[in-house]
Amino acid sequence: MTKSLLKRQAMRDARHLMRYLKAKSGVDPKEIAKSERVSIGTVNESIKSIEMYEQQNTEGQLQLAVRDLVISTIPQAKETIHGLLTATELVLKKNLKTGKEEHVTVEDKTTRLEGARLVRDLVIGMQPKGPAVAVQVNQNNNPTVTVGSSETNE
């Protein structure tokens, strides 16, 4: 097994993450080692492996990986959507002239409608999202009585 594969498998073990989180919260690595009955070197290796994993897998790298995935799959998605929008099916119809049944190619309306829905959802998903606008409505329905100078309360 290569070293990089071993590192990946180490990330699956929750002990490494727990040691890292304890150390991050201020617990001394010696205390962690003592409580788990392991060597201080093992605890330090766990902490270092999680720190390296964090450095190698930043938010920016995730964004780049997702963009690369989307860009690389666009040609296949384009072909798939085109296939959905131009789908046909074979239907067995009776030929009125010969009286025999023959296979006829017709538009597959169900598949084409699903393709159109997919395109609609993609277009809606790509629309820019504006910030949420807070609308404040103050409505006062209490009738107010205005008393003029020529009027009295009586």
Tens digits of per-residue pLDDT, 7-55? 555 567 889 999 999 999 999 999 999 999 999 999 999 999 888 888 8
Q: Does the pLDDT value for residue 66 go beyond 70?
A: yes
pTM above 0.85, yes or no: no
Give residue limits of the domains in the chain: 3-56, 73-126
Main-chain dihedrals φ then ψ at residue 88, nearest 5 degrees = -130, 165
Q: Does the pLDDT value for residue 125 go beyond 60?
A: yes
Alpha carbons 150 and 104: distance in angstroms, whole number: 92
CA-nearest of 6, 16, 18 to 49 is 16
Alpha carbons 84 and 108: distance in angstroms, whole number: 9
The one-character DSSP state at 139 is -
